[in-house]
Structure 1
Amino acid sequence: MSLAESWADPGRVRRYRERVLTERARLRSAFADPEGHQRAVLADLLEFNSGTEYGKRHGFGAIRTLDDYRKAVPVQTYADLEPWIERAAAGETGVLTADQPAVFFTSSGSTGAHKKIPVTPRFMRTTFFPFYYAAWAPLIEHFPDVLQHPGAVLNLKHDPLAAPPTTASGRPHVGASQVDFGERFGEPLSAEPGTGAPWATLPVPVEAGEHLEKMYLRLRLAVENDVRCVIGINPAMVAALPYQLNLWWPRIVKEIRDGTLGGHPHGAPDPERAAALDRLAERHGTVRPSHIWPRMRAIFCWTTGLARLYLPRLREQFGPGVTVLPAPVAASEGPVGVALDRHPSAGSLVVTASVYEFADADEDLAPDTATLGPHELEPGRDYHVVFSHVGGLYRYAVGDVVRVVDHDGGVPRLEYTGRGNRSDHAGERLRDAQVVRAVETALRAGGLELHNVACRVDRSRYEFAVAPRTPWNDEERERFTARLDDALRGESAGYRQARDGNRLGAPSLLCLDADAFLRDWQRTVAVGTRPTQVKDRLFRQDPEQWARLTEGTPTSNEPLGRNEP
């Protein structure tokens, strides 16, 4: 049975719903004894992998407690584990894990280099699938009509490959959204909503690396369906959708009129539908998702980081009653938090998936960094995430920073705030989260809104490029820049000291047109980067990338003359 047929089967949909809600209930029940579950996860990964080369070298067989484990295994990054991972990718057995990786997930990380994340059957069964099913519970519970028919969900991240790239051992090296979990791991129910849509497997030929063309073809087909939900995970993909609708609208309408798809015959010509779409665009002067899909109910994507600045207004383009549900706090390497209700940003720690440790986000991580347990986390604080799981990642610093929102049901609820890397030109040590909060404070104080923002250090001052939602006048620009400077001082002691010591000048502002970041996103995808990996990036120090983003923009405003070096 094809995915389209399975998603059209009421019995399959019922079983999927039951599995999703059951996994959420199991996770909630685990919150009654989170520390006990953490001890069980540690004991399992140690016992299962004690006979591996890594396990023998680090004495897994003799470890009994988390303190023992901390002494035996340092905090480490991908670079530390990479030699071990490469050996496994080449086909060597018993290196990091007792079972062989069945696939290697790609992850671009903060440097853009493609990592190889080992994915073993045991990891999928004990760590991944329980959290993965539970993540869909709020959507399935509160918006059941998104499963009404296979074409009700536009899953922007679903991108199956007929011939995936492989490692030296022949294992697929692909993104998580490119793996058929049913075929690879024997989990037929694991196919996501939207994977049975008419555009999930494109019916016309297109090269694997032609990502923009694939996005166009899916959008062209989706326009003729009753879409109720958009799944993006990466919010930049969701933000691109209204832009792409308008960019490709003439081509979409022509192909519907002609009965073609990407220039290939597809269905019967439909001049009446094409004429109606033309009138729709003329009536509104623009094309919004809400015009095409008036019964849209929900968007599923990350709601924090830079997205928190633009998602409220973006949501309105999809419809006045549309709900944005937060995707899990997770990476290709493993899960951290999952939203079990309709909280707008935070997810509960997945205590059954990994052993979790945390460290103050303002401190640098080192192999011997002292870490905290989940029960020691304080609401309103930012932390580095370090996790260990049976899939071969041990005391792994994933590079993400989370903020503790509260404790609910016995475990912390966390929201992703950004990557852990810093911008540090003069001792300011600025993190993503600090700058995003400062920008948000400065916007709110002046009643301003924007589509996106980036920054760099130029001539010992921070230059901010913003795409205002509506034009800002000179006074608004000056006030925003001054408020931003003050807010950065409040967020970071290092920034405040660098400004007071004249090591940093006052920030400057460069106002771009409304579509500048969307054009930059399109160009990045056009040169071959998968859309799921083209994420919002705040710090952009690369001169070529900055020039590409800001090309055609007038010279930035003069900075305010306060404490100039």
Structure 2
Amino acid sequence: MKLKVLAAKLFAKNVGRKNAKWIQNPIAAQEKVFKDLITNGANTKFGKDHNFGTIQSFSDFQERVPVRDYEGLKNYVDLVVNGANDVLWPGKPAYFAKTSGTTSGSKYIPITKVSIKEQVRASRDAILAYIKETGNADFVTRKMIFLQGSPELDEKNGVKLGRLSGISAHYVPGYLQRNRLPSWETNCIEDWETKVEKIIDETLPEDMGVIAGIPSWVQMYFERITQRTGKKIAEVFPNFDLFIYGGVNYEPYRATFENLMGRKVDSIEIFPASEGFFAYQDTQTEPGLLLCVDSGIFYEFIKADEFFEENAKRYTLGEVELGVNYVLIISTNAGLWGYNIGDTVQFVSLAPYRVIVSGRIKHFISAFGEHVIGKEVEESMRKAIAATDAMVHEFTVAPQTNPPEGGLPYHEWLIEFEKQPSDMETFIAVLDQTLQEQNSYYFDLIDGKVLQALKVSPLKRGAFIDYMKSVGRLGGQNKVQRLGNDRKVANALSVFRALE
């Protein structure tokens, strides 16, 4: 056994023993995080404005600190961006993660020295948990890539500024630097299509062991390799045995991925964001992602179906239930307080606490009162693919409230197929039936003849890449909106319909 492999296995065992303490005592871990956050935040502008000095309990905190999204916290963030000290967290942040905002232009998410340290630790622990469980550590001797943003950072009033993935590139451990691809120069290329071609140039000759990134963009990378070589990925990279992904559900892409790869490959799902690293897949045998309860993030949860009610109840970790759709609210050691990141989760285990990401609170379809969420359309797609020979590249769903052809309204599924199902009727029937089984409101609307069954609109190959390019969002960290309550995305994609 190579020394590096043996060291990785011993390290994984050690870290596993340490992590068992908070995994087995999650409520105590969250109480400690809460106290530390309040103590550190007490002398900041935010802490003084919200009387942190008098907070003795969770209920005190909830009384003083309302739930806010970025817009609600923007006045404080603007002070930080303009160079002020001690606003949301002591001192200044180490970085701003720059992200695209829908209503306020660019968002500047503060990242502190302590918060980036926790993000790096969680990403490391995801891989170590895999090594500990499976015993597979051979990949540490091979090359690995993460399809990510440019590591070149700008500066704003003395604070480094860039995309989260670019910031994270500065924290790759020294013992992995020799294994890491692509080169720094290639990672700095801004044009995504040029960058992918250069990544292929650099990776084709190498012994790749780990490939990581958002599934839709890794799929593009795989497709370009197959086009160039005429081979399956397993032939090109025979020792590639671990895929790490986050950002979107892998299941709708799985069949296409496995076809491109030529065999099955182990995978690790992670749940990172600019605001923090929240959860990671700690086992290959159980569903869900282990919630990181000791990483400087205090969690609260609001039931999604109550979220827009005045004074909706905020639940702490010890109060959550299995299978309920919750909006995730966080307070962090980067100075985000009572912050709504927009994601929804469901608990699939309470011992330990494991979640699945069920969607976005702003991304749903409820044009007729059905409130269909991301998890439901993705599960419907998974079952439709499993029941047919279809392979799907990408898709989005939107309501059609006034069908141009007349008749009852319906949900339109705009799908770019890798391979269209030979039996489209069965594919559509499984989609619709599965959605009805998951969502009783949708069932009632179909049963009561308020809606007709969903319709599928096949799109041309490359439609989603062309669409993302047209809106300036082509790149490894950008995701397609899975569903919407209006037709903004659907109408933009309609120009890419496949010929009948």
For 2:183 and 2:100, the matched residues in 1 are separated by 24
Partner amino acid, structure 2, of 1:413: R
Is 2:146–2:181's contact at 8 Å kept on the other side of the alignment? no
Q: Does 1:529 align with 2:473?
A: yes
- Per the TM alignment, residue 503 of structure 1 is displaced from its structure 2 partner at its CA by 4.5
1:318–1:380 CA distance, 2 compared to 1 (3 A): same
1:478–1:433 CA distance, 2 compared to 1 (3 A): same
Partner amino acid, structure 1, of 2:164: A
Q: Does 1:485 align with 2:432?
A: yes
Cross-structure match for 2:343: 400
Percent of aligned pairs sharing the same letter: 20
Q: Give the SS at the match of 1:506.
A: coil
1:222–1:129 CA distance, 2 compared to 1 (3 A): closer
- Please, which of 405, 408, 420 is the counterpart of residue 471 of structure 1? 420
Cross-structure match for 1:265: none
Give runs of aligned pairs for residues 43-62 of structure 1, distance below 5 A: 43-62=35-54
- Per the TM alignment, residue 495 of structure 1 is displaced from its structure 2 partner at its CA by 2.6
Is 1:158–1:177's contact at 8 Å kept on the other side of the alignment? yes
- Please, which of 483, 489, 498 is the counterpart of residue 539 of structure 1? 483
**Post-superposition CA distance 1:267-287 (Å, at most 9, x none):** xxxxxxxxxxxxxx5xxxx33
Give runs of aligned pairs for residues 352-501 of structure 1, distance below 5 A: 352-353=294-295, 354-365=297-308, 368-408=311-351, 411-421=352-362, 422-446=364-388, 448-458=390-400, 459=402, 460-473=409-422, 476-500=423-447
Give runs of aligned pairs for residues 543-562 of structure 1, distance below 5 A: 543=488, 546-548=491-493, 551-554=496-499
- Please, which of 231, 235, 243 is the counterpart of residue 299 of structure 1? 243
Greater shift in the superposed pair: 35-44 or 307-316:
307-316
**Post-superposition CA distance 1:213-251 (Å, at most 9, x none):** 12211111111111122111x11122112222245x2xx
- Please, which of 199, 203, 207 is the counterpart of residue 226 of structure 1? 207
Q: Give the SS at the match of 1:428.
A: coil
- Per the TM alignment, residue 344 of structure 1 is displaced from its structure 2 partner at its CA by 6.8
Is 2:369–2:441's contact at 8 Å kept on the other side of the alignment? yes
Q: Give the SS at the match of 1:202.
A: helix
Q: Give the alignment's TM-score, normalised by structure 2.
A: 0.86
Q: Identify unmatched segments of 5+ residues in structure 2.
A: 403-408
Is 2:150–2:190's contact at 8 Å kept on the other side of the alignment? no
Is 2:327–2:345's contact at 8 Å kept on the other side of the alignment? yes
For 1:348 and 1:365, the matched residues in 2 are separated by 28
Cross-structure match for 2:231: 287
Is 2:51–2:64's contact at 8 Å kept on the other side of the alignment? yes
Q: Give the SS at the match of 2:306.
A: coil
For 1:310 and 1:373, the matched residues in 2 are separated by 34
Q: Does 1:348 align with 2:340?
A: no
Partner amino acid, structure 2, of 1:165: D
For 2:178 and 2:47, the matched residues in 1 are separated by 38
Is 1:140–1:146's contact at 8 Å kept on the other side of the alignment? no
- Per the TM alignment, residue 464 of structure 1 is displaced from its structure 2 partner at its CA by 1.1
Q: Give the SS at the match of 2:31.
A: helix
Is 1:330–1:336's contact at 8 Å kept on the other side of the alignment? yes
- Per the TM alignment, residue 319 of structure 1 is displaced from its structure 2 partner at its CA by 4.3
- Per the TM alignment, residue 181 of structure 1 is displaced from its structure 2 partner at its CA by 6.8
Q: Identify unmatched segments of 5+ residues in structure 1.
A: 1-8, 183-187, 250-280, 556-565
Cross-structure match for 1:201: 184
Partner amino acid, structure 1, of 2:431: L
Q: Give the SS at the match of 1:46.
A: helix
1:437–1:189 CA distance, 2 compared to 1 (3 A): closer
User: Max radius of gyration: which structure?
Assistant: 1
Is 1:77–1:398's contact at 8 Å kept on the other side of the alignment? yes
Q: Does 1:155 align with 2:143?
A: no
Is 2:120–2:168's contact at 8 Å kept on the other side of the alignment? no
Corresponding residue pairs, total: 487
Give runs of aligned pairs for residues 3-152 of structure 1, distance below 5 A: 22-108=14-100, 113-125=105-117, 127-141=118-132, 142-149=135-142, 152=143
Q: Give the alignment's TM-score, normalised by structure 1.
A: 0.77
Is 1:324–1:344's contact at 8 Å kept on the other side of the alignment? no
Partner amino acid, structure 2, of 1:492: N
